[in-house]
Amino acid sequence: MQFFPMLLIIGVMYLLVLRPQMKKSKELQKMLSELKKGDDVVTTGGMLGRITGIKDDEITLQVQEGVRIRILRSAVTGRQRVAGSEPAKADVKAT
């Protein structure tokens, strides 16, 4: 009978903490494996750049014209949307 509350706490922790964290980790790993030349990304340090080269676990980022840095693939935290990459939505007036 004393194990039931402990089992309940472990179950709640799994549902609220561990499961979402594992899902987020899987999504990050998938995104890292799909990176390609030309993608705009953001790093863990907050640096923005465009991928100009990819080796095994190393990425070359162009952070400014003529300025390139090498970082680890694991330092990329996400893709950055470029303002001109998505078409602007036109305002539609209802008549």
Given the structure tokens 């390609």, which residue do they identify?
36
> CB count, 10 Å around CB of 29?
11
Least reliable range by pLDDT among 2-16, 22-36, 75-89: 75-89
For 67, the enclosing helix (H) or strand (E) is strand 67-72
Task: Say if residue 81's pLDDT is above 50.
Answer: yes
Tell how strand 48-54 and strand 67-72 pair up: unpaired
What is each CA distance from 4 to 8, 17, 19, in whole angstroms?
A: 6, 20, 21
Structural tokens at position 66: 């003529």
Residue 88: its pLDDT value, please?
45
Predicted confidence band at 4 (pLDDT cuts at 50, 70, 90)?
confident
> CB count, 10 Å around CB of 51?
20
Per the prediction, the chain carries an average pLDDT of 86
Q: For the residues 59-72, what does the mean pLDDT come to?
A: 95
- Greater confidence (83 vs 71) lies with 71
Taking phi over 0 as left and psi of -120 to 50 as alpha, with beta for the rest, 36 belongs to: beta
